Each structure stands twice: as structure tokens, then as C-alpha cells.
Amino acid sequence: MQHTVTALFFGLLFSTCLAQETLTTKLYGTYGTYKETSLEKRRIKHHQIQPLIQKFDANPKFEVRKVGESIEGRDLHLISIGSGEQNIFLWSQMHGDEPTATQAVFDILNFLDAPEFENEKQEILSKLKLHFLPMLNPDGAEVYQRRNALGIDINRDALRLQSPEGRVLKRIRDSLDAKFGFNLHDQSTYYNAELTNKPATISYLATAYNYEKDINEVRSNAMKVIVFMNNIIQNYAPGQVGRYSDDFEPRAFGDNIAKWGTSLILIESGGYANDREKQEIRKLNYVSILSALYTIAMENYKDIPIADYEKIPKNDRKLFDLKIENVTYNLLGRDYILDLGILRQEVDLEGHEDFYFKSIIIDQGDLSTYYGYETFDASGYTVVAPNVFQGETKNLGGTTGALKNGVAYLSSQNLAPGAFSNEPLNQIQLGYQLPDFKLAVGQNPTFFLAKEGAITHAVINGFLLDLSKPVAGQKFGNALIYR
């Protein structure tokens, strides 16, 4: 009899997991149907989501209510759907420059409004009531900065509650007494899954509620759902999940919300190769959050062993945009072998709707324990200092000819407007004095690589160009203009 009961239990568990996996596959495959196409880039602003909120406000399936205002007077809205007894609270962009999940929230809302997946949505919405607060920090989003208009980090305001945004978050959490909370963030694209060269595309955390990092039922439930979500992401970004540090932060909302009795799931959207605008990561948020809501509704997460949570690799921060290994650099007549770690930093343009790249060397020396989204083994290559040329590039055989001749800067009296150029040659004002070239941390990486005396590659503002191929077809961000 005991064997029969055990076999029945595992048979039901297997069939439930199989149904869940089928749902996840369908969610991923049909994502384009529900993606909110009006939100295509990261630097979204408050006014862009207002028509979407109004659309759901006019839809009888949803309950939309204003729950407060930001410091600068921008409305905060809570969008709710479902009739279940368990409240689930999801909020995004409490840091203004972390918008990936805000986009995913509207994708999820579109899904919940659509006629497809009727049975699965019935399971979710009959057992749960979902509450979404997108863009908690609209003032920060307006200027694409982490902090709010007061200059504070809302995620460190759980005790003093100085900010109106923080007070709204606390009031809603308390009024809902939410069973689960999803705290949706972005993290640096330079995090990797520990001891691997893979980016931490998604990182999770079941926040601690005390310094001892004890595990009670509230935290344990968050861990189990995270294990479930990790298993989903492994299908689409294998090895690219990290576990965020669980050091207790007594001022943080996540830690305190866990202390107040809500199973808190922190989701951090990191980096993914060739996904600067994080649209693939947005899709992974959509799939994993919806799948998590389904498993919460079905309550099959309860059978997941929390020991699997500790198996998720820790977050590490050992990624560069470009890593150049084993390059020869001559200094004061002597050759040295260096690795270079290069970051392509974003500089916002006026209006905070777009950006350009201004790269720096962030580290150099022995970087054998670090990784790159792009890695070039420069064994046998020598660093060559860049030259300045005054005149037209056609006299050098065009842009490629200029680069092959070691020219990285064009000197001109009449520069193009702005701070950057899409052509892979830096521009300098006639008479502008460049500093003497040297490789150093903090310097802009613009130089050449030569092998057996011939220049073969250019590094222009941190972008590597292979000069044996047409430059026009290679990945390049921008050069810089110096005045």
C-alpha cells in the first residue's frame, strides 16, 4: 500500500511538472503576441506608460487606482486583476534606471487580457489576486538615474520612509498583506555567474530578514519559487543565472518586507550577449514570472527542496565588454605582457532618451580570473600608439586605409556637432592637444595592434576592429569628438 501511495504521489508530481514545462514552452514561443510594442527601449518615461495604464483602466477585467504621487507629482498607479484569496504584489523600477521589468509587466498584463491560455489563466486568477505597481520611481526614470528627486535610494528608505514613493510601497504591502512579493530590478551587465564566463542574465534572491540569515517558512517559500524559476531560465539561458548576495540590509525594502511576512523574490535583470536594450532579458522576465505565478497558484512549489537554492551560483562581478589577453606593451624600452579589461560606458544624451559610448580601461595586468563578452587573445600582438591626421581620409584610402596606417584621430577646424561620431575615427579640434599615449586604468582605449610589424586590428573607443575585413560590417558603437 505504501509503495502504491508513493508511486501515485510521484506520478502526480511528474505530470504536474510536465504540464508546467509545456506551459513555459508555449509562453516563450508565443511571446511576440503579447509584447507591448510601444516600449522598445530601456529609457522609458512616465508619460509613455500612461496610455497603457488608461487602457487597462477602461477594461473591466482590471482594477486601476491611483495610490500616490512621486515627489515631482507624477501619479503612481496600482493595476489589479484576479479574484483569488492570496494577494501577490509585484513592483518595478524603484530605481529609475532599472526599467527592464517595467516593460515585462505590461507584456504580462497584455497576456492576462488576451483570450488564449484560458485554463492556465483561470487557475492563476481564481486563486490569486495580482497587483502590479509599474515604475515606482518615475522621477528617476525621467532622467534615467537610480535615485529619486530627493536624491535618495528608495530601496534604502524602508525605515525612515522619507520619500512618498517609499510610503506608498509600505502602505500597499501592509494593506494587501501579500503572500508573495516580486521586487523587480536591473543589475550591472558586468555580473557573471561565479567561476564562469557567462553573464548573470537573471539573478535571484530570497531576501534575509535578519543578520543571522535564518530560514523561516516565509523565506523558504521564496527560495522554492526561485529554484523553480531558475530551472525555467536554464532552458533559455543555460548557466546564466546568479544568486544575489543575501547579506541583511536593515534599511532595504526587500529585507523588511520579508520580515513583515511576505515571501520576497528579488529579480535582477543583468546582461545578455548582443542585447544592449535587454529585450531578450525582458522576455525571460515575462516567461519566468508568469510561470512562477502559475506554480504559486497550483502550490506545487511547496514540494521543491530548498537545498537546491544554494546550488544556484553566486553573483560575481568579473565581466568586461572587451577583454584583450596577453598583449605586448612596450614601456620605457622594455616589453611587458598585459591583459586589458575594457568597459563601454553609456553617457546619456540630452533628454535621457538615448546614449553614446565613452569607454575606459577599467583594469589591466593579470586578468586571468576575469572574462569578456568579447575576448581577443593578443598573444604575439604589440600595442601601437595612435596617430593624428589632418586632412581627408580619401587621401589615405578611406576609413579603412586610415586605420591601417595607424590613424585613430582626424584633426579638423570644422567638427561635426555633438560628442560622438558613428564613423570609427575619433575627431579632434584643430589645435587640440592630446595627452601622450599610454595604457592606464581610467584612460580611453584607443590604439592599434600589430603583428610581425603590420597593423592588423584597431581599438577605437573600446571597440575592436579586424582590419582584414570590411570595417563597415563590424560591430561598432561610436568614436569620440574632442574639442
Q: Tell me the chain's radius of gyration from C-alpha atoms.
A: 26
Q: Which CATH class is domain 2-315?
A: alpha beta
Integer CA distances (angstroms), 478 to 277, 443, 452, in order: 16, 16, 29
Backbone angles phi, psi at 313, to 5 degrees: -60, 145
Classify each residue of 225-241 as buried b or exposed e, where b means 16 or more C-beta atoms within 10 Å of its C-beta: bbbbbbbbbeebbeebb
Which whole number is the average pLDDT over 184-189? Answer: 98
DSSP string, 96-156: TT--HHHHHHHHHHHHHHSSSSHHHHHHHHHHEEEEEE--S-HHHHHTT-SS-TTS--GGG
Same fold, 2-315 and 319-482: no
Residue 57 has pLDDT above 50, yes or no: yes
At 22, is the pLDDT very low, low, confident or very high (cuts 50, 70, 90)?
confident
Examine the pLDDT at 331 and tell me if it is beyond 90. yes
| C-alpha torsion 376→381→385→388, nearest 10 | -80
Which one is the CATH code of 319-482: 2.30.40.10, 3.30.70.120, 3.30.70.640, 2.40.50.140? Answer: 2.30.40.10
Phi and psi of 411, rounded to 5°? -100, 130
What one-letter code names the amino acid at 359?
S
pLDDT of residue 141: 98
Helix (H) or strand (E) holding 223: helix 217-233
Share of the chain above pLDDT 90, in %: 94
pLDDT digits 0-9 by tens, 158-184: 999 999 999 999 999 999 999 999 999
Q: Where does the pLDDT of residue 317 fall: very low under 50, low under 70, confident under 90, or very high at 90 and above?
A: very high
Are 142 and 96 in contact, with CB atoms under 8 Å apart? Answer: yes
CA distance 387 to 407: 5
Instruction: Give the mean model confidence (pLDDT) for residues 66-75.
Output: 98
The band of 3, judged by pLDDT with boundaries at 50, 70 and 90, is low
> Helices 279-298 and 2-29 sit at what angle, rounded to 10 degrees?
150
Summarised one tens digit per residue, pLDDT across range 79-132 is 999 999 999 999 999 999 999 999 999 999 999 999 999 999 999 999 999 999
- In this prediction, residues 331-339 reach a mean pLDDT of 97
How many CB atoms neighbour CB 393 within 10 A? 18
Per the prediction, the chain carries an average pLDDT of 95
- pTM comes to 0.94
Hey, where are the domains in the chain? 2-315, 319-482
Cell of 460: 577605437
| Side-chain-side CA neighbours of residue 191 (13 Å) | 24
Q: Give the DSSP letter of residue 415.
A: P
What is the pLDDT confidence band of residue 17, given thresholds at 50, 70 and 90? low
pLDDT at 231 > cutoff 70: yes
**Quick one: pLDDT at residue 422?**
96
| pLDDT tens digits along 234-259 | 999 999 999 999 999 999 999 999 99
Size (the chain), residues: 483
Given a cut of 50, whether residue 9 has pLDDT beyond it is no
- Burial (Cβ within 10 Å: 0-12, 13-18, ≥19) of residue 29: exposed
From 131, 146, 160, select the one nearest 256 (Cα to Cα).
160
* The three three-digit cell numbers of residue 40, written as one number: 522598445
Q: Indicate whether 11 pLDDT > 80.
A: no
Backbone angles phi, psi at 241, to 5 degrees: -120, 135
